[in-house]
Structure 1
Amino acid sequence: MTMFKDAPTSTAAGGAEGGRKLSIAEILEIVVGKDLPVRFTAYDGSSLGSPDATFHLNLRSPRGTTYLVTAPGDLGLARAYISGDLEIIGAHPGNPYEVLRVLGEQLHFNRPTPRELAHIARSLGWDVLKPIAPPPQESLPRWRRIAEGLRHSKTRDAESIHHHYDVSNTFYEKVLGPSMTYTCAAYESEDQSLEDAQENKYRLVFEKLNLKEGDRLLDIGCGWGGMVRYAARRGVKVIGATLSAEQAQWAQKAIADEGLSGLAEVRYSDYRDVAETGFDAVSSIGLTEHIGVHNYPSYFGFIKSKLRDGGLMLNHCITRPDNKHNARAGGFIDRYVFPDGELTGSGRIITEVQDVGLEVRHEENLRESYALTLAGWCRNLEANWDECVAEVGEGTAKVWGLYMAGSQLGFERNVVQLHQVLAVKLGADGEANLPLRPWWRA
């Protein structure tokens, strides 16, 4: 059902007769058709969609229109939403999962004709079509980040990690929960708690790495030290490395509070600066997404160089469902969430692991577990919304709600996956000295 205030009920394309200026809702109808699955209203008084729709999108200002038309797709929508120019009514800003699901399943885009595009441009006017500064939460585009160094240089990687992780430890405590773990949990059932599933993930990694008391573990990209502390509690000597100063500070305090300082250390350091070698195991949980696909040979080569013969590596990271797509992230993810982040398929990762001489012994996909993990984080953000907004501001809190809800959908729909790859550094004669069959509890 199409409803316009002070506008004819004919289709928007037909409204071109006589050069009449189109309303915002008429422009939207050209792009998505009449069957909008949500209610839409705009600052010019026009509307589209059923008044009885569960969700209502309200475009509040010309600035929001500028964001939408100058960056079509997810980046423009994110800008309008984060800035407050596009209001979602019927969904909590900390958890817009349901409205994103409805739009993803039912919204279909049309390609306007050249004549329609010209009419849209005339109707909007130059002032609306002229690009403007994005919301302050947005990172610079890739081509302008050169001032921070070449892509995936130590300096630029440090800045990218700072953008995402040095938001506020207090904010992350509210969103992630007591585990302070910002990576996929391993669920044994859909009704398992987030905390139990995160503990289960650390247990799974620990057992896959065949660690025992007295062993030495290097955990690169260690975050707030969840894996570091899990292993240290079991008598393993651990070094963790993170490029986030706030993570390192939080982790060192947690280590001291648990009385683990004799076994565990988290360094504010690039993983490439870790000098020690001869580790029994190396874990990389959620780092590979940040290092760049073209750096995989040196990355896995570094890991191999840190292992003793017979040592094990576990790589846990987000992947694409195939090995064909461009590795670069989309506009919203790159500019608001993971600057310079890149994803590829598990096949490419396994190939690179093998090509440096490590032997892959096992791999598995935890895609559904990541969807459940993200749902848990969204619930936490929604439940602690007021405190999160007070800590980081509404715009930044909206970024995380939008990112996590959208990512949950992505994992549910197999747009992205989460793979764990286990490999061993063989001895000189090709010996692995491992059990013949998997030695861990799945």
Structure 2
Amino acid sequence: MTLTIGQISDELFGTDVPFALSAYDGSTGGNPDAPYRINLDNERALRYLVSAPGELGLARGYLMGDISIEGIDPGDPYDFLHAFLYNFEVHRPTVKKLPELLKSLGINAFRPPPLPALETAPQWRRGLESLGARHSKKRDAEAIHHHYDVSNEFYELVLGESMAYTCACYPEESATLEQAQFHKHDLVCRKLDLKPGMRLLDIGCGWGGMVRHAVEHYGVTALGVTLSAEQASWAQQKIKEQGLDDRAEVRFMDYRDVVESDFDAVSSIGLTEHIGVKNYPDYFGRLYAKLRPGGRMLNHCITRPDTKAPALTRGGFINRYVFPDGEITGVGVIVSAMQDQGFEIRHAEDLREHYAKTCRAWCKNLSANWDEAVQDAGEQVAKVWGLYLAGSSVGFETNKIQLHQVLGEKVDDRGHGSYPLRPTFGV
């Protein structure tokens, strides 16, 4: 017996699901009383789901307009994703059901549909003329361009006044995003024990938030570097407006090309995800060499809750649409890599709940500025950002991903450093 699409959905997932389903063949399924309705508007929508079951197939069809979702806020789809992702984990279809059910779909359902233009195709689909070895300077620059050079105006709509695109640190539950970003930068400054006259190197500096904060509030001289020309231009203009250009600078360059050394401190806030795990020794070795004895490095990056999963998830939504070549691993790998390059690890903490709140705040900004965001970047880009930020918030909340700050010190040849008997930076 040939089953309808709605019947197949009910066989696979049941009807105790947070969505109703309507398909182009006229069938329905799912839970008719659910707050969301997923519409498969044409045959290509089915092909997206069959070729990539789960979040990737749903995202592809949604971005291409072949799958519409009633009840969703495209700028802040947190509630939908929270329900959908949880349900998909709990109600994974049993393998023995699949062959019989899939027969009802017909051969055409298995033809791979075209990828959305925004998707970074896998290596085999791109061919051998790719951008070079993963994490080469050329390929890293292209990956950064893919994500960060949307437009400064778009980021202003999403990130808010601080223009800080990294995990904030909320001093209290009721703190605003801007207060939390200020607190994050201040916490990093205190962990690095910055004092007037010191020299700071901030790699992957984004729009210069850490650079400007350290110069303005701690009296240091700071150099920031970024692979995004858009970020560097915006940051330099802001530095000039604030009258900090005598002690602050942001350069459009690879951190590997910085020639200065003997810094008192190095901060890396949200860059390690782009480095590649196999490159950790070179990465931490270079930064260790940039420090004077007694200097500190603060590494702030997304991590996994263990070291068992592969660092590079090739088929995931994030890797395809947001961070091409991005790699994350457990904090233990980062700590070991820093130690092996000479750092004495002085402190580490997980801020994952803070990143869940940060992503929620960004989603709310995107939702509030949805029309302007679509006008600036296009509907597909805006939809990607809604899915990415909301999905990330769910991931941090449910401990699928974490965010660690690790503080290391470069001691001298006799093992002497400048770290006090007890930390002075508070929380």
Q: TM-score, normalised by structure 2?
A: 0.96
Aligned to 1:351: 336
**In the alignment, which of 72, 93, 111 is matched to residue 53 of structure 2?**
72
**In the alignment, which of 377, 395, 418 is matched to residue 410 of structure 1?**
395
1:82 to partner: Cα distance = 1.4
**In the alignment, which of 15, 24, 28 is matched to residue 43 of structure 1?**
24
**In the alignment, which of 337, 347, 351 is matched to residue 366 of structure 1?**
351
Distance in 2 (alpha carbons) for counterparts of 1:23 and 1:39: 15
Moved more, 62-71 or 155-164: 62-71
Is 2:162 the counterpart of 1:179?
yes
Distance in 2 (alpha carbons) for counterparts of 1:147 and 1:105: 36
Moved more, 370-379 or 29-38: 29-38
Equivalences for residues 52-131 of structure 1 within 5 A: 52-107=33-88, 108-113=91-96, 116-117=98-99, 119-121=101-103, 123-131=104-112
**In the alignment, which of 171, 184, 193 is matched to residue 201 of structure 1?**
184
Contact 1:97/1:406 (<8 A) preserved? yes
**In the alignment, which of 318, 323, 337 is matched to residue 333 of structure 1?**
318
**In the alignment, which of 302, 306, 325 is matched to residue 286 of structure 2?**
302
Alpha-carbon deviations, 1:324-368, whole Å to 9, x = none? 111113521111010000110011100110011110000111011
Question: In structure 1, what residue type is equivalent to 2:48?
Answer: Y
Contact 2:10/2:30 (<8 A) preserved? no
Alpha-carbon deviations, 1:383-419, whole Å to 9, x = none? 0001001111111101010011011011001111100
Aligned to 2:231: 247
The higher radius of gyration belongs to 1
Runs of at least 4 residues off by over 4 Å:
none
Please provide the CA RMSD for this pair: 1.4
Q: TM-score, normalised by structure 1?
A: 0.93
Is 2:367 the counterpart of 1:385?
no
Is 2:179 the counterpart of 1:167?
no
SS of 2:130's partner is helix
Question: In structure 2, what residue type is equivalent to 1:426?
Answer: V
SS of 1:316's partner is strand
Question: In structure 2, what residue type is equivalent to 1:183?
Answer: T
1:117 to partner: Cα distance = 2.2
1:231 to partner: Cα distance = 1.0
Distance in 2 (alpha carbons) for counterparts of 1:268 and 1:439: 34
SS of 1:58's partner is strand
SS of 1:227's partner is helix
**In the alignment, which of 205, 208, 216 is matched to residue 233 of structure 1?**
216
**In the alignment, which of 127, 139, 147 is matched to residue 130 of structure 2?**
147
SS of 1:421's partner is strand
Distance in 2 (alpha carbons) for counterparts of 1:265 and 1:402: 34
Contact 2:349/2:406 (<8 A) preserved? yes
5+ residue gaps, structure 2, are none
Question: In structure 1, what residue type is equivalent to 2:110?
Answer: L
Aligned to 1:221: 204
SS of 2:200's partner is strand
Contact 2:6/2:30 (<8 A) preserved? no
Aligned to 1:273: 257
Contact 2:343/2:408 (<8 A) preserved? yes
Alpha-carbon deviations, 1:242-298, whole Å to 9, x = none? 111111111111111111111111111111000100000000000000000000000
1:141 to partner: Cα distance = 1.3
Moved more, 34-43 or 198-207: 34-43
SS of 1:39's partner is strand
SS of 2:112's partner is coil
Aligned residues: 421
Percent of paired sites with the same residue: 57
Alpha-carbon deviations, 1:63-109, whole Å to 9, x = none? 11111111223221210111122212112011111111112333412
Contact 1:175/1:377 (<8 A) preserved? yes
Distance in 1 (alpha carbons) for counterparts of 2:294 and 2:158: 38
Moved more, 27-36 or 297-306: 27-36
Is 2:385 the counterpart of 1:400?
yes
